[in-house]
A = this chain, B = another copy of it.
Amino acid sequence: MLDEAKLTAAVTGLTEEQVRAIVREEVERAAKRDPASKHAAIIASKGTLDWAYPPLILATTAAASGMETHVFFTFYGLNVIHRDFERKLKVSPVGNPAMPMPMPMPNLVTAMPGMGPIATQMMRSMFSRKNVATIAELLDSARESGVRLIACQMTMDVFGYGQDDFVEGVEFGGAAAFLSHARRAHTTLFI
């Protein structure tokens, strides 16, 4: 005997065409959510003043736009989160003919004692004159906006650093920890 309730349910059954339309709509909606677009994984490997800016500027900008952001500090990049970063982050004009100098100088001159400190001071004032945040301010801003700062345990070991050598809020991990975040992130950068 025909059950009228079941028949009513049946009557609402969708055709293949209708199902495909629903699927495409849902898939498109999922693509817009795209979880990988909300993650950024950055490696900071350089230990000079100039190269300390890019990872911190990109990380704080990413966090400001709602991205879950990890910065993995390794090799010379450990300088950036060292308690003594103000003293450790220097620039050298030697071997970088792209560094803007007040006047062109041959490498032998830029290699002379004293040119490193002058170049470092020059870069600091170039940035501060233009009201770019200092490294200290960028580190604060990174922590306040939830950027995770991770020191590479292997290179800490190699360079003889202990956990106490770093600024507050730093976590510790290895390349596998970095990759477990990076493999879910569209934005992955080695700086």
Contact = CB atoms under 8 A, between A and B. Distances in A.
A113 to B, nearest CB: 4
A150 interface: no
A98 B88 contact: yes
A35 interface: yes
Contacts of A30: 27-28, 31
A36 B187 CA distance: 11
A81 interface: no
Which bracket fits the contact residues of A? Answer: 35 or more
24 contacts: A7-B10, A12-B15, A13-B13, A16-B18, A30-B31, A31-B35, A37-B184, A40-B183, A43-B54, A50-B75, A54-B74, A54-B190, A62-B179, A67-B183, A90-B97, A97-B116, A107-B112, A108-B112, A108-B113, A126-B158, A126-B159, A127-B158, A132-B158, A186-B188
Interface of A: 2-3, 6-7, 9-16, 18-20, 22-24, 26-28, 30-31, 34-38, 40-41, 43, 45-48, 50, 53-54, 57-58, 61-62, 64-65, 67, 74-76, 79, 88, 90-92, 94-100, 106-108, 110-116, 126-127, 130, 132, 154, 157-160, 174-176, 178-180, 182-191
Nearest to A6: B11
Nearest to A184: B37
A156 B24 CA distance: 44
A106 B98 contact: no
Contact of A186 (B6, B154, B182): B182
B179 A67 contact: yes
Given A7-B7, A20-B22, A79-B98, A179 B54 contact: no
